[in-house]
Every structure is written in C-alpha cells, then in structure tokens.
Structure 1
Amino acid sequence: MEDLKGHLQCQTPTQGSDIWYWNNSKNHEFSVKCVKASLGQQLDLNSSTYEFGWNNWVSNKCIMFVWRAIEEKIASATALRNRGLNVQEIVCKTCGADEESAEHILLKCNFAKRTWEMVTSWLKIPMVNVNGSLKDILMEINEIQRSRSMRKAIHAVAIQTMWHLWKTRNERVFKGRQGKVQIVMEEIKETSYQGVKQRSKHDSISRQEWWDFNVIL
C-alpha cells in the first residue's frame, strides 16, 4: 500500500479525459498488427503445438485433473511452495528420491513406474517413457499402431492411471496409508471398464474381456 501511495504521489493529473495507451506501439495506438508483432517476439510460431485430447470415455473430473497436472497446476508439494505456501517438506513421501511435482507423482516415482509397467503389460503395448513428460506419454499413445477406438481406450486407461496414482498419493499424505500397486491396478481396470461401458458404444464388452484386455474395438 505504501508503494502504491508513492507511485500515485509521483503522478501529475492532466486536464481532459482519460485515454488508453498501447505500450508496444511507437504511437501508443492499438492495432491487431501490433498485437501480432508483439506475440511473434515472444513465441516460436514455427514450433509444433501440443493439443490435449479430451476423451469422453473418462469422467470430466479425471480429464480435468490430467489437463491441470500437465501444466503443474495440481496441489503437489512443489506447486504449493511455488504459490507461496510455507511447505516444510517437498520431497516425495513415497520414494524420497526427488521433489514432489505432478510429473514425479504420476510418472517418475518408483511407485508410478511399477504401476505403468503393469498397465502397459496389461494393455500389451510398449512401456511408456518414464523419463519423458506427461505430454510425452499421451502423445506416444496417440501414435500407437492400433485402431482409433483402441487408441481412445488406451488413452482412457492412461488418464485413469494418473488419476489413481494421485488418489493413492493423497491417501498416503493425508491418511498415512501406503498404497499397493496391485490394488491400484485393479482400480484402474475397473474404473476404465465402467467408463468405456457407460460412455462408449462398446457396451457389450464383458468385465472379464476388459480385465484380460482381450477386446477388439
């Protein structure tokens, strides 16, 4: 407040009405051309963009969570610290090997790595690159040599995997419960099955077929 008062005291009011100034223009005049030029100085317009896949075979809650996690917007220890909260301990409470970021919780923690190993084995696809990023995983899935519906199903499983890894982390942090990969795996199978069963046209798939991932979509 004192800084604000100091700035205001340095300002000399002038006669006439207020007007808008566009600082990125020499003449202080706004134009679309000036906006484009300003953005062009800050962005690489030739770089490829990442488009987040909005999968309607997954609940909005889960898909929104992953969307926020990609941008490090979920309430991990490092994110809370970066927002100015006094977080005493930011090291992962599961492995203790690194700071607890969204990427660490959902991909690089030892618990997450073991979970992804089981998920990819179940889906009969190559192991995801746990040394990459959350974007990398989803992009890898979009490039798998499967039918469009199969890729969408695998993408739905990936979303559910991240969601259940986060739930397991919260159980550990807030309730002191240590998660088990096998239990998380069962939850991923069941919730992804219910999502595909209820939200897609493939409602004839049996639970056993899905749990064995013996499906053709």
Structure 2
Amino acid sequence: MTSVQKGISQKILSNIVASVKSLQDSGDIPEETLQLKFKNSRNDGNCHVLDARKSLDDSHLPTSSYRTRWTKVIPLKINIFIWRLIMDRLPSRINFALKGFDINTNICLICSVGGDLRDHTFIFCRVANTIWRRIRIWTAIPWPDSFIITEDAFDWMDSSNDPLSKKTHIYSIVAATLWWLLRFRNDMLHENGTIKERDLFVNIRLSSFAWLQARSKFAPTWTTWLCNPL
C-alpha cells in the first residue's frame, strides 16, 4: 500500500469513527450495541479470533434445518450452487426485491407467467416441468409427480433405500438438472441466446455422465447411461 493509499484509508476510517461517535453521543445508538460480546471457548478470559468469527457467523449467516451437502461426485461450484439453492440465496428478482432493490418486474424470465423465484424456476416453470418429466421417463423410476418445493428432491433421495451406486447416479442427475435450469435462466436474463431449450436434456445427460466418469467409482459406460442410467 502506498503512502497516499494509506493516508486515504486512515482518513476514511477516522470519518467512520467520528460518525459513529456522533451517533452514540446523540443517543441514537445505545452504547451496548457497539460492544461485541463473544463466547470464550477456552475460558481463559481472553478474546480469540476463532470466537469472534463464530459469533459473527452465528449472527449473520443464514441457518437451515437441511444439512449441507458436499458430494465428491459433482464439482465444487455445483456443491456451492446446491447449498445456495437450498438456502434460497440465489440472486432471483424476487430475492432482490425483498432486499429493497428497485426491480422493474418480478415475472419469470423463461415463461413470463410465474414469479422469478426459486421454486417456480426449478419446479413449476413450463421448461422445468418438461425437463423433470423427461428425467422421469429416462430413469424409469417412480419419481414424485412433482416436487412441491426444491428441498423435496433431496428429501426424496435421502429417504430412498437404494444402494449407494444408484443414489450417486440419482444425485448427479438431480444436480445437473438444477444446474442447467439455472444456466438457461441466466442465459435468458443476459439475452445471450447460447443455450437452447431443446438442448437442455442432452446437456443434463452429458454433464451428469462426465461428473460420474471423472469422480465416481460407479461410473457407467456411455451406452448404459443413455439406455439405463440407474
């Protein structure tokens, strides 16, 4: 950091401290709200970075009754996407509107019928509904007619008594389906036109197969995957 940058940073920090002090003196901010209280995990009377981080995480990060899924079969970025999806932390128009952003419209980018929110985009939208129907035909297993909310897909997989190899294949298919629905939606948002609706099902089969080939000991052959993936 140059001396100029350092000077600017110190000036900004001084202005912030002065502003907070002014608000505190005016009584607009109770003094106790300015005090960070951390639980001491070591009981040694000192404040540790680990305790501060845990307290901040507990107070600011979203919580959910659904366990975090980190599956080695799928790429890391897909794991992160699935986590954000379950937590409903994807940047949809309705989520932006709920945060106070000025959004021109909340209508679904794909079908222009429902709202641009998680469960519509990935379950009820015309394109999503068509894709899930094709997935049920391809896998030839009794998938639920429709998932009420996105978490239902994972609840359904967790409750299955199928062997691990079959569960692994199912999970890769579900993850690939959700991922390509997101990519299609984002492609519509940015008006790129690079992802065609007619190609979604093919891309789902290609991606899920590629993940299994690269990361799973239960990887099938391409012919088997096309005819009987489970």
TM-score interval, smaller chain: 0.7 to 0.9
Tell me the amino acid that sits aligned with residue 206 of structure 1.
T
Task: Say yes or no: does 1:50 pair with 2:66.
Answer: yes
CA contact (8 A) 2:128 2:181 kept: yes
CA contact (8 A) 1:129 1:136 kept: no
TM alignment of 1:200-211, pairs within 5 A: 200-203=216-219, 205-211=220-226
Aligned mate of 2:96, from 80, 101, 124: 80
Which structure is higher in helix share? 2
Percent identity at matched positions?
Answer: 19
Distance (whole Å) between structure 2 residues aligned to residue 80 and residue 70 of structure 1: 17
Distance apart, 1:116 and its partner CA:
0.7
Distance (whole Å) between structure 1 residues aligned to residue 91 and residue 36 of structure 2: 38
CA contact (8 A) 2:169 2:229 kept: no
CA contact (8 A) 2:69 2:83 kept: no
Q: Deviations over 1:95-133 (max 9, x none)?
A: 222210122111121110111111122111223353511
Task: Say yes or no: does 1:138 pair with 2:154.
Answer: yes
Q: CA RMSD in A?
A: 2.9
Tell me the amino acid that sits aligned with residue 155 of structure 2.
M
After TM superposition, the runs of 4+ consecutive aligned structure 1 residues lying more than 6 A away are: 1-4, 19-22
Change (3 A) 1:58 1:3: same
Change (3 A) 1:184 1:148: same
Distance apart, 1:184 and its partner CA:
0.5
Partner of 1:103: 119
**Which ranges in structure 2 are unaligned for 5 or more consecutive residues?**
1-15, 29-34, 39-63
Distance apart, 1:82 and its partner CA:
2.1
Partner of 1:31: none
CA contact (8 A) 2:121 2:181 kept: yes
CA contact (8 A) 1:121 1:127 kept: no
Tell me the amino acid that sits aligned with residue 117 of structure 1.
R
CA contact (8 A) 2:95 2:117 kept: yes
**Which ranges in structure 1 are unaligned for 5 or more consecutive residues?**
12-18, 23-47
Distance (whole Å) between structure 2 residues aligned to residue 193 and residue 183 of structure 1: 16
Tell me the amino acid that sits aligned with residue 224 of structure 2.
E
Distance (whole Å) between structure 2 residues aligned to residue 79 and residue 165 of structure 1: 18
CA contact (8 A) 2:69 2:79 kept: no
TM-score by length of 2: 0.69
Partner of 1:40: none
CA contact (8 A) 1:142 1:155 kept: no
TM-score by length of 1: 0.73
Change (3 A) 1:7 1:112: same
